[in-house]
Chain A
Amino acid sequence: MPAAQFDYIAPTSVDEAVAALVEGGRDTRVMAGGTDLIVKIRHRMLFPKCIVNLKRIAGLDAITADKKNGLTIGATALLADVAAHKGIRRHYPTVAEAAGATANVQIRNMGTVVGNLCNASPSADNAPTLMAMAATVDIAGPRGIRSMPLDQFFQGPGITALKTGEIVTAIRVPPPVAGSGTAYHSLSQRGKLDCSAVGVGTMVVLKGDHCTNARIIVGACAPVPMRTQAAEKMLIGKQITDTLVRRAAQKASEETSPITDVRASAPYRWKMVSVLTIRALTDARKMALRRQ
């Protein structure tokens, strides 16, 4: 079968990339690692007339991670680089773990964290942790730059809040507050390689064993990575116990709306949301106690 045909641009600045996307309209697609885009073209799900490669834009792969100013991951920073970054592993370990749990070695050497988010798969491995940590996305477009919370960015499977000509230039995570802990747990058929059937990212903030804030995000069990706010509310303001964790996990499961597909059945997913939420909350709680 002959390959789909398209043109290629490798701009050297964000402004040039935005201009190319505005000019090309819907038929022009932005590419970072290409590990999702090229597969979609190969599988005849997309027929772009032009591809705009972001990887030649200097500085767009920058990562800054410290305890005071927060974490910034540029649009073309590789999954492998995020997984191995010393500052991220030290201050934002779950962000590094989620990046390291995405796909396989070769894909992590090509693909990017921001690309994983922009493909807006409900199962995107990097979304739950970053949403749990209240990350925001920096967006550049024809009308300048804007920023939005990551939990408003996802609009449906493969659909984001990006408008024509807009690209995500970076993802930002606020600095970790004292007493905060995070964790991500996922399940898939081939270990960690393929798309996750269920993924749960959590953040809890503890004062002593009192929970002052909690965020629970479930991946692959709704049209978008989903905040389970009723479960979060059960924890906030309470003394955290194993029993409460179990009840909140059950509530989180009830809030999701998984489907049966090639990766797992809906009943299995419901059950596993509860199991993974218990694990993620337990781990996040341990980290929060260490960080008091």
Chain B
Amino acid sequence: MKYDISLTVNGDTYNLAVEAWQTLNEVLREDLNLTGTKLGCGSGDCGACTVIVDGKSVSSCLTLAVEMDGRQILTVEGLAPSGETLHPIQEAFIEKGAIQCGFCTPGMELSALNLLETNPRPNDTQIRSAISGNLCRCTGYNKIVDAIAEAGRRMKPQSKARR
């Protein structure tokens, strides 16, 4: 049996019919072609599938799509909606060399956003704790931590300007 849902992804509303067992990750990647969100372990350990639902970071591999009726979802594609100007988090990741293979990057960036929106000037410990659910097998984390600290410094004036 299919279930009708309406969800908003990166500002666009989609009306979909999904199976109960489809995960949000499958719907994003396979039905909406938003392949920026990765699938790693499939059991909530690696964080590669992290997306933001109603302002909170979650593992899309453990979230049923049918639960997402009426929810607002942000994926890595939504960080730079124009496709031209990058989000400060993305800029900082590039500049600090926080990306190697790139597979963990979408999840890392959304975990960073989840942290920086409530705490724009986190210390090292807070950053490491915020990305403790995101595994990276390339960089050794130090550059990612540097990038998130730098992004926090850049995001603060920007959010003031928006107000």
Instruction: Choose, from A35-43, A130-138, A147-155, A161-169, the stretch at the interface.
Output: A35-43
Determine the residue in chain A with the shortest Cβ distance to B55.
Answer: A109
Chain A residues closer than 8 Å to B57, beta-carbon distance: 105-106, 109
Q: Is the CB of B21 within 8 A of A39?
A: no
Chain A minimum-CB-distance residue to B118: A84
Q: Residue-by-residue, is B1-34 near A (CB-CB < 8 Å gives 1, otherwise 0)?
A: 1010000000000000001111100000000000
**Complex: how many Å from CA A42 to CA B44?**
11
Of A5, A55, A106, which is in contact with the most chain B CB atoms at under 10 Å from its CB? Answer: A106
Task: Compute how far the CA of A34 lies from the CA of B66 in the bound complex, rounded to whole angstroms.
Answer: 12
Question: Is B56's CB under 8 angstroms from A107's CB?
Answer: no
Q: How far is the CA of A55 from the CA of B66 in the complex (A)?
A: 12
With A5-B19, A105-B57 in contact, do A39 and B133 touch (Cβ < 8 Å)?
A: no
Size range of the interface on B? 20 to 34
As a 0/1 sequence over residues 182 to 194 of chain A, the CB contacts with chain B under 8 angstroms (1 = contact) are 0000000001111
Closest to A4 in B: B21
Residues of B with C-beta under 8 A to A51: 20, 64
* Interface SS majority for chain B: mixed
Asked whether, in the complex, the Cβ of B43 is within 8 Å of the Cβ of A42, the reply is yes
Q: Is the CB of A191 within 8 A of B132?
A: yes
> Do B50 and A43 have beta carbons less than 8 Å apart?
no
CB neighbours (8 Å) of B90 from chain A are: none
Least distance between B10 CB and chain A CB atoms (Å): 19
Count of A-B residue pairs with CB < 8 Å = 77
Q: Tell whether A103 pairs with B133 under 8 Å between CB atoms, given A6-B21, A35-B44.
A: yes
Interface string of B56-80 (1 = CB under 8 A from A): 1111001110110000000000000
Contact-residue bracket for chain A: 20 to 34
Contact of A106 among B19, B58, B129 (CB under 8 A): B58
Q: Which residue of B lies closest to A108 (CB)?
A: B133
**How far apart are the CA atoms of A7 and B64 in the complex, in Å?**
12
B132 and A7 within 8 A (CB) = no
Does chain B have a CB within 8 A of A8? yes
Q: Is the CB of A8 within 8 A of B56?
A: no
Closest residue on chain B to residue A78 by CB atoms: B56
> B37 near A: Cβ within 8 Å?
no
Pair A8/B64 contact, Cβ less than 8 Å: yes
User: B interface vs A, CB < 8 Å?
Assistant: 1, 3, 19-23, 42-45, 47, 50, 56-59, 62-64, 66-67, 111, 114, 129-130, 132-133
Q: Give 28 A-B contacts (CB < 8 Å), ordered by A residue.
A: A3-B22, A5-B21, A6-B20, A7-B1, A7-B20, A8-B3, A8-B64, A34-B63, A34-B64, A34-B67, A35-B44, A38-B23, A38-B62, A38-B64, A41-B21, A43-B43, A53-B67, A55-B67, A104-B45, A104-B132, A105-B57, A106-B44, A106-B47, A106-B59, A109-B58, A110-B63, A193-B45, A193-B132
Q: A residues near B, CB below 8 A?
A: 3-8, 10, 34-35, 38-39, 41-43, 51, 53, 55, 80, 103-107, 109-110, 191-194
